[in-house]
Amino acid sequence: MRFISGNSPRLFLLLLGGLPLLARAQSGAATRGEVHDAGSATPLPGAVVRWLLPGGTSGPTTTTTGAGTFVLPFPAQASHRLIVSALGYTADTVAVPTSGTPYLRVRLKGNASLGEVTVTVRPPAYSARSVTNMQTLSARDLTKSACCNLAESFETNAAVEVSTADAVSGAKQIQLLGLDGAYSLLTIDNQPALRGLSAPYRLGYLAGPWIESIDIIKGTGSVVNGYEGISGQVNVQLKEPDKTDQLLLNAYANDLGKFDLNAISSVRLTPKWSNVLLLHNDHLGNRVDRNGDGFLDLPLATQFNGYDKVKYKSGGLVAELGVGALHETRQGGQVGFREDAPDAYRAAYGTTQTTTRYTAQARTSYTWPGRPFQSLGLLANGTSHDFASTYSFQQAAGPRQYDGHQNTGQATLLFQSVIGNTMHTYRAGLSFLYDDYRERLSIGAPEVVAARQDRLRTERVPGAFAEYTYNNAHNLTAVLGLRTDHHNLYGWQITPRFNLKYDVAPATSLRLSGGSGFRVPNPIADNASLLASARGFYIGPNIRPEKAWNVGGSFTQYFQLLGRQATFVADYYSTIFQNQLVADMYTTPEFVILDNLEPGTRSFARSFQAEVQAEPAKGLQVKAAYKWLDVQSTYGGNQLLPKPLTPQNRGFLNLGYATAFDKWRGDLTVQWFGERPLAHLPADGVGGGHQHGTGTAGLEYAPRYALLNAQITRAFKRLEVYAGVENLTNYRQPDPIQNAATPFSAGFDAAMVWGPVYGRLTYAGLRYRIE
């Protein structure tokens, strides 16, 4: 699949223009649907679906796929009834409407006369029904690694890369389609969350055991969730009050001295009311310096985090309210640094961060009786985020301080219904976003801080959106969305988006997507890792919003391998920026220059990935993937160069094996990273910026390397015990902190991290649950 970056808007319009022709071409003579267990909603593969013809005879027959779906051609004789049956279940006769092209959802009840039967099915991770290229990580997937927080939830997944931001703070960051996490929309329970100033450490603000599932969507998604998702969306679904175990306890400890404790408790107060309480605490108080550079390999850190969610469900009315609070402290730097020592930040190199965060989230929806396709919903959330951080910088001028406060409020009113029949559905609504930012970056005494170092911004953005979906219930689904928002600082913003799914065959799908995205950058927060270096910050005087087009598509093939379900997915996406806040470390190594993309220059990201997921033998699951990235921006006005620290090639392999009844589970993950470009170090008397005209020939590259992680789990009735090793080969980046012996020199840099810092890590833990 090939896309020409310069013609992205034209391609988008071409896709829209071709939609009616595609719709006309895909009319078919078959009924489609899915079969589930009535009790657990688990898909039933191998269920038999056949037409019941006049006279009681049987017509055309088919069986459901591994995902529980089926496609059955209409018989030559007129018929409107299906018989659905499966081993261990009571057969059911289903009426098929004679008008329209409905999508049938059949739920079979277990046959008690056959005794207790346990059916365990693992549906494909890549959704067969979603119009977007979506992969789901289940709660079971999240137990394949330690998964203490959201950052570690992606370790056994190829779509998202997680890397260490710098060698001092311990912060983690993600990449999707080769772009930083700021360009992907992160939502919690389908509401935007952890935005803005929380970006540097947000992956540590969600505990892994709290998470029920994670949906990873590549490319532009729905306009309902806002205008910020440029490269995709990551939706985290937290444990539901009415579906979660009564009690889940998780304890974790590693050989660095870090421990995590989690407690989840749910209670069904009445048939209509339920509640879940999520608690988390992690602590590292051990000073560890395995590589002997005089700096802590991980910062001392303590976090207390809690979230409570109550749910009400009665008929068509569902309401949820969640509130949470977090407090975290971090201290990194040299082993001898003590925050309470006299003149601490000059006596030794150190960093400290303190964060306090409060959140509230509400969801209410009403579905009309007898009209399951029609609903009205109200979503709202609010956040108060405060942090204060200090970094040693220059002994003469004193430490560098970066403090910030953010208040956010969001609300969305959403109505959904059909036009005539369920082949044509629509969603429309109104939204409002309020963001109030207060930031200060300062060096030296407060009385000499220049006014330009205070960054104050208040955003008020009312918006409206509409989304139309065409689904012929056979093989074509298309979604066309448009939203318009009025930004009080940047005027009107129009966001069109388009997604299409076409089933070439029952087990073969093509998807296309295209659209634009818009976000207001936070120059310091988006590049907070560079505060752990001797680089100064130069921020352009007129930072404009970032705008980009994203176009791409995927090919999905479900097939049988050795008699078992397997999936092959290949996708390609291209993101073309019309404007971007570029962090330039090439031109002048003494500074990071944060400014708009200059007129007439280019910035883009291209991503290709091919992945196979299979179960070649009972209990053995295999995931293998290869990813190619081409991420480039124009630096210094005329140098098109690759983005620092982004590898062009990446390989991934995950092997998981489970014995009968999941008593023993073992997982091995191998990640291979190709070469990645490095920016020049801050000036230390040697070298300088990138020489104009030399292209990539003048760049330094980090070497290729591989990481191996392994974990084994033993399950009992209510208890699971697990142990694992990360970085099995003990590979480390040599000198992750440049000029560590002279941290106050002009050549100090702890932000050019491309590999592991502390080497091999072993851990153990347990999970105890009462269902």
Give the pLDDT of residue 275: 98
pLDDT of residue 40 exceeding 60, the answer is: yes
Give the pLDDT of residue 351: 97
Local confidence band at 58 (pLDDT 50, 70, 90 cut-offs): low
Give the pLDDT of residue 57: 62
Instruction: Give tens-digit pLDDT for 530-567.
Output: 999 999 899 998 999 999 999 999 999 999 898 888 99
pLDDT of residue 86 exceeding 50, the answer is: yes
**For range 321-333, the mean pLDDT:** 97
Instruction: Give tens-digit pLDDT for 385-429.
Output: 999 999 999 888 889 999 999 999 999 999 999 999 889 999 999
Decide which of 695 and 727 is more confident.
727
Give the pLDDT of residue 448: 41
Task: Name the nearest CA neighbour of 367 among 380, 356, 376.
Answer: 376
Q: Is the pTM of this model over 0.85?
A: no
pLDDT of residue 452 exceeding 50, the answer is: no
**For range 640-668, the mean pLDDT:** 95
Determine which of 94-103, 106-115, 493-502, 602-611 has the lowest per-residue pLDDT on average.
106-115
Local confidence band at 85 (pLDDT 50, 70, 90 cut-offs): confident
Give the pLDDT of residue 77: 67
With a CB cutoff of 8 Å and minimum separation 6, the contacts of 609 are: 158, 159, 569, 570, 571, 625, 626, 627, 628
Give the pLDDT of residue 692: 57
Decide which of 646 and 683 is more confident.
646
For residues 567 and 553, the answer to whether their CB atoms sit within 8 Å is no
pLDDT of residue 681 exceeding 70, the answer is: yes
Give the pLDDT of residue 447: 43
Q: What is the DSSP string of 139-171?
A: TTGGGGS---BGGGGGTT-SSEEEEES-TTT--
**Residue 105 burial (CB count, 10 A):** 11
Domain ranges of the chain: 29-114, 133-770
Q: Measured between alpha carbons, how far apart are the two ends of the chain, in Å?
A: 47
Give the pLDDT of residue 686: 47
Decide which of 17 and 575 is more confident.
575
d(CA 701, CA 490): 39
Give the pLDDT of residue 694: 63
Local confidence band at 100 (pLDDT 50, 70, 90 cut-offs): low
Local confidence band at 26 (pLDDT 50, 70, 90 cut-offs): very low
Instruction: Give tens-digit pLDDT for 146-166.
Output: 888 998 889 888 999 988 899
For residues 238 and 310, the answer to whether their CB atoms sit within 8 Å is no
Classified as helix, coil or strand, 230 is coil
pLDDT of residue 20 exceeding 80, the answer is: no
Give the pLDDT of residue 451: 39
Determine which of 29-33, 633-637, 762-766 has the lowest per-residue pLDDT on average.
29-33
Look at the domain 29-114 and name its fold.
Immunoglobulin-like (2.60.40)
pLDDT of residue 296 exceeding 70, the answer is: yes
With a CB cutoff of 8 Å and minimum separation 6, the contacts of 695 are: 639, 641
pLDDT of residue 440 exceeding 50, the answer is: yes
Order of strands across the sheet with 232-238?
A: 133-138, 211-218, 232-238, 184-188, 191-192
**For range 225-248, the mean pLDDT:** 94
Q: Which two tokens stand for residue 458?
A: 């208040």
Q: What percent of the chain has pLDDT over 70?
A: 89
CATH of domain 133-770: 2.40.170.20
Q: What is the DSSP string of 525-564?
A: GGGGGGGSBS-EEEE-SSPPPEEEEEEEEEEEEEEEETTE
d(CA 771, CA 769): 6
Give the pLDDT of residue 444: 58
> What average pLDDT does the chain have?
88
Question: Which three-class secondary structure string do you get for 244-295?
Answer: CCCEEEEEEEECCCEEEEEEEEEEECCCCEEEEEEEEEEEECCCCCCCCCCE
d(CA 469, CA 499): 9
**For range 759-771, the mean pLDDT:** 95
Q: What is the DSSP string of 24-89?
A: HHT--SEEEEEEEETTT--B-TT-EEEEE-TTS-EEEEEE--TTSEEEEEPPSS---EEEEE-TTB
Instruction: Give tens-digit pLDDT for 309-320.
Output: 999 999 899 999
Local confidence band at 101 (pLDDT 50, 70, 90 cut-offs): low
Local confidence band at 353 (pLDDT 50, 70, 90 cut-offs): very high
Are domains 29-114 and 133-770 of this chain identical in fold? no
Instruction: Give tens-digit pLDDT for 261-275.
Output: 999 999 999 999 999
pLDDT of residue 91 exceeding 90, the answer is: no
Give the pLDDT of residue 16: 38
pLDDT of residue 302 exceeding 80, the answer is: yes
Give the pLDDT of residue 597: 94
Classified as helix, coil or strand, 205 is coil
pLDDT of residue 2 exceeding 50, the answer is: no
Task: Name the nearest CA neighbour of 189 among 162, 225, 157, 220.
Answer: 225
